[in-house]
Amino acid sequence: MAKTRISISLDQEQAERIRRHAERAGMDLSAYLVHAATRQMAESDAIEEQFAGVDALIARAESEAGALAEEPETSAEELTEQQRRDVEAALALVHGTDRQGARTPGHAA
């Protein structure tokens, strides 16, 4: 198989550090860099494969959200008393407080 030469530029300090690591690994510089790059590519491919389903779900959700008609904003004055209580209860859950204002266990907020 024919080989291709790739030229890279880096700081002298980085080059020396890479050379030392290659020597410790018992590899020449080219083999060490190819090994490091190949390992990184395999790791990236595995991560992308693992999250491909999640990425597809996110893309679909964003597409569907973009197609939704925007709802007009509702001011607090337009809410019923029950809706206001529901909003306050939801915010309390988000902020980690119960109805008496005490922090609920497990919340850092």
Confirm whether pTM is higher than 0.75: no
**C-alpha to C-alpha distance for 39 and 34, rounded to whole angstroms:** 8
Q: Which amino acid is it at 81?
A: E
- Per-residue pLDDT, 9: 95
Average pLDDT of the residues of the chain:
88
User: Residue range 15-26: average pLDDT?
Assistant: 97
Domain ranges for the chain, please list them.
10-63, 76-109
Give 25's contacts (C-beta < 8 A, 6+ positions apart). Answer: 32, 35
> Are 97 and 104 spatial neighbours (Cβ–Cβ below 8 Å)?
yes
User: Residue range 72-90: average pLDDT?
Assistant: 86
- Per-residue pLDDT, 109: 45
Asked whether residue 34 carries a pLDDT value surpassing 90, the answer given is yes
> Are 39 and 27 spatial neighbours (Cβ–Cβ below 8 Å)?
no
